[in-house]
Chain A
Amino acid sequence: LLQAKYKERGTVLAEDQLAQMSKQLDMFKTNLEEFASKHKQEIRKNPEFRVQFQDMCATIGVDPLASGKGFWSEMLGVGDFYYELGVQIIEVCLALKHRNGGLITLEELHQQVLKGRGKFAQDVSQDDLLRAIKKLKVLGNGFGIIPVGGTYLIQSVPAELNMDHTVVLQLAEKKGYVTVSEIRSSLKWETERAKQVLEHLLKEGMAWLDTQAPEEPQYWLPALFTELYSQEITPEEAKEAIP
């Protein structure tokens, strides 16, 4: 009987709390509306402010980008900003995939996205891109973020890249290419292990092989070619990007 009583009390408490939450939610909505009316522009125009905003949300356990139906998105307009950015990122990655195998530096992605957005669009920071990409992961297209030498490589294809692959990518980042000897001396791996990783990258189209290099074959990453930066996306590539 006592147990039943406790059980009942517990249920009532939960219902009470639900009613309380409903009320608090309404109040919060009003507060947010007030905040938006004063500071919505700040979020739109100021990338640093967006970073602060996102960090604060993360600290308290709130994801302002989870849903377009969320208050944050509806009232502050943060949603549309990032979701649209997501579309632009997907388009750039699709257009350039045949060149770089689905790996692109954050810098190049940034430049191409800015170009696509045009002169009068809002400014977009690299932090903005990273947040948009993190959200895109859930679509199952293989979006991933790989830290390399102070920046990031963005993966946009469902190719499996494990720790071994990542570490070789990081090694290649310095010069844009890597050789088996370098892997052996820097990472202390056996030739077989190095070759396996390099072959996987070749197969995925993320690395190109230069057999005419002076000492030994060099494995280049098109994603890291500086000369390709700012190269325009051709009309054929753009067509590939739009379903």
Chain B
Amino acid sequence: MDRFAWTSGLLELGETLVVQQRGVRLCDGEEKVKFDSGVLLLSTHRLIWRDQKNHECCIAIPLSQIVFIEEQAAGVGKSAKIVVHLHPASSNKEPGPFQSSKYSYIKLSFKEHGQIEFYRRLSEEITQRRWESMPTGQPIQVNKDPQAGRIRAVGIVGIERKLEEKRKETDKNISEAFEDLSKLMEKAKEMVELSKSIANKIKEKQGDITEDETIRFKSYLLSMGIANPVTRETHGSGTHYHMQLAKQLAGILQTPLEERGGIMSLTEVYCLVNRARGLELLSPEDLVNACKMLESLKLPLRLRVFDSGVMVIELQSHNEEEMVASALDTVSEKGSLTADEFAKLVGMSVLLAKERLLLAEKMGHLCRDDSVEGLRFYPNLFLTQS
């Protein structure tokens, strides 16, 4: 890896891009280095690697440094690689990320595939040696801009200095951020201690704190993200926020529920609502806490939890037990059905289809045939024909 030099990544005059590939990791011989996720570009003159996260981090090696290349096939859990054997670094090489290396080869690891094409093109370029017949000009110069008042560095040394400054700046930012974060956490810790003390008092003297005060306390806990040790049967972990949310949900979900046969899984609701919001998304817990309040607020939706733990939102007018009757008809018509088949027939998600069939079974209408080929449901003839 000591053959690499820092570069701006700009192509020089006379240099053409041949192929590029994302998701490439560089290895110094057998050892992994920091350059683990980047775009690898092949030009007529160089092999360039740019970090996907930090576009200013860009290194390159002239193709003339390459002795030969080999392919290394992918394995279980391992990406395919190209091994590039290199000549020793020349003494007048530009500065790069490594001063020395104990290996005379590097490995390019293609985490997102693309190695077959890349290997082909790289072989071609090494064979054709187009860099010898296409002399390149200097990298594009960047000039002083007196109006902006900023001095732009010129040439590779300047670029390297800028990178170094940026690294130092980043390091400084992070350590400052950590310091500030630690101080903030100290204060947060005090709040946690205080809340524990209040919670204990509430527990010991149930009924002496007013309902209003308990609700206030819960909203403080919510703001801080402190787990609620005090639960009240009436509202659970709910707060005014969750109550409002529940009412909003009733409005938002009415139509989607009607379009989906009156029932949706909570994960579907989570995705639907958050995608519609775009910003200020709901946490999964927010959603669950709000849904728990639907029934007590007499809203036209309710939360239901199946035996399997699957949670759904139903329209109040929806009657899953009635749907079971029609499910029985469908299954009888076809003789037998798996959850997948039933889901396709009826136009439901497989998850909810399975729950309906399980409920039908629980109610005694269906029997199961559980084999390695899958779970299949039959009408319960024991019941109807006994």
Which residue numbers of A lie inside 8 Å of B, CB to CB?
7, 10-11, 13-15, 17-18, 20-22, 24-25, 27-29, 31-32, 35, 38-39, 42, 46, 49, 52-53, 56-57, 59-74, 79-80, 83-84, 86-87, 90-91, 97, 111, 123, 135-142, 157-158, 174-176, 199, 202-203, 205, 209, 224, 226, 230, 242-243
A79 to B285, CA, bound (A): 12
B287 at the interface (CB under 8 A from A): yes
- Interface contact A24-B74, CB-CB below 8 Å: no
| Given A21-B195, A62-B192, A65-B283: A13 and B201 interface contact (C-beta under 8 Å) | yes
- Interface contact A140-B310, CB-CB below 8 Å: yes
6 shortest interchain CB distances as A-B pairs: A140-B311, A83-B281, A14-B201, A243-B268, A60-B189, A39-B177
CB distance from A121 to the nearest CB of B (A): 11
| Given A91-B271, A135-B285, A226-B76: A18 and B197 interface contact (C-beta under 8 Å) | no
- Interface contact A62-B226, CB-CB below 8 Å: yes
* In the complex, per-residue mask of B185-196: 1 if CB is within 8 Å of any chain A CB, else 0: 101111110110
Q: How many B residues are at the interface, by size bracket? A: 35 or more
- Interface contact A14-B182, CB-CB below 8 Å: no
B325 at the interface (CB under 8 A from A): no
B184 at the interface (CB under 8 A from A): yes
Chain B residues, Cβ within 8 Å of A136: 267, 270, 284
- Interface contact A83-B282, CB-CB below 8 Å: yes
- Interface contact B174-A49, CB-CB below 8 Å: yes
| Given A21-B198, A61-B226: A135 and B280 interface contact (C-beta under 8 Å) | no
A83 to B271, CA, bound (A): 9
- Interface contact B225-A67, CB-CB below 8 Å: yes
- Interface contact A60-B188, CB-CB below 8 Å: yes
Chain A residues, Cβ within 8 Å of B112: 111, 230
Beyond A14-B201, A71-B224, A87-B274, 11 additional contacts (C-beta under 8 Å) are: A17-B194, A21-B217, A25-B191, A31-B187, A38-B177, A46-B174, A61-B189, A80-B281, A83-B281, A139-B267, A157-B351
- Interface contact B198-A24, CB-CB below 8 Å: no
Pairs across A and B, CB under 8 Å, 10 listed:
A21-B194, A25-B224, A70-B224, A84-B281, A87-B270, A91-B271, A135-B285, A138-B288, A140-B305, A243-B349
B223 at the interface (CB under 8 A from A): yes
- Out of B178, B202, B270, B279, name the residue touching A86 (CB < 8 Å): B270
* In the complex, per-residue mask of B366-386: 1 if CB is within 8 Å of any chain A CB, else 0: 000011101100000000000
- Out of A14, A52, A79, A176, name the residue touching B205 (CB < 8 Å): A14
- Out of A18, A61, A174, name the residue touching B216 (CB < 8 Å): A18
* In the complex, per-residue mask of B333-357: 1 if CB is within 8 Å of any chain A CB, else 0: 0000000000000000111000000
Which A residue sits closest to B260, measured CB to CB?
A243
| Given A24-B194, A39-B177: A140 and B372 interface contact (C-beta under 8 Å) | no
- Interface contact B222-A70, CB-CB below 8 Å: yes
A65 to B225, CA, bound (A): 7
- Interface contact A158-B308, CB-CB below 8 Å: yes
CB distance from B274 to the nearest CB of A (A): 5
Chain B residues, Cβ within 8 Å of A46: 174
| Given A69-B222, A203-B370: A90 and B264 interface contact (C-beta under 8 Å) | no
- Interface contact B174-A24, CB-CB below 8 Å: no
| Given A70-B224, A141-B267, A230-B113: A31 and B184 interface contact (C-beta under 8 Å) | yes
- Out of A7, A53, A137, A230, name the residue touching B208 (CB < 8 Å): A7
| Given A42-B174, A69-B223: A141 and B351 interface contact (C-beta under 8 Å) | yes
Which A residue sits closest to B288, measured CB to CB?
A138
CB distance from B253 to the nearest CB of A (A): 11
Chain A residues, Cβ within 8 Å of B188: 28, 57, 60, 62
B157 at the interface (CB under 8 A from A): no
* In the complex, per-residue mask of B163-190: 1 if CB is within 8 Å of any chain A CB, else 0: 0000000000110111011101101111
B77 at the interface (CB under 8 A from A): yes
Which A residue sits closest to B259, measured CB to CB?
A243
The CB with the most chain A CB atoms within 10 A, among B181, B213, B264, is that of B181
A63 to B372, CA, bound (A): 42
CB distance from B35 to the nearest CB of A (A): 15
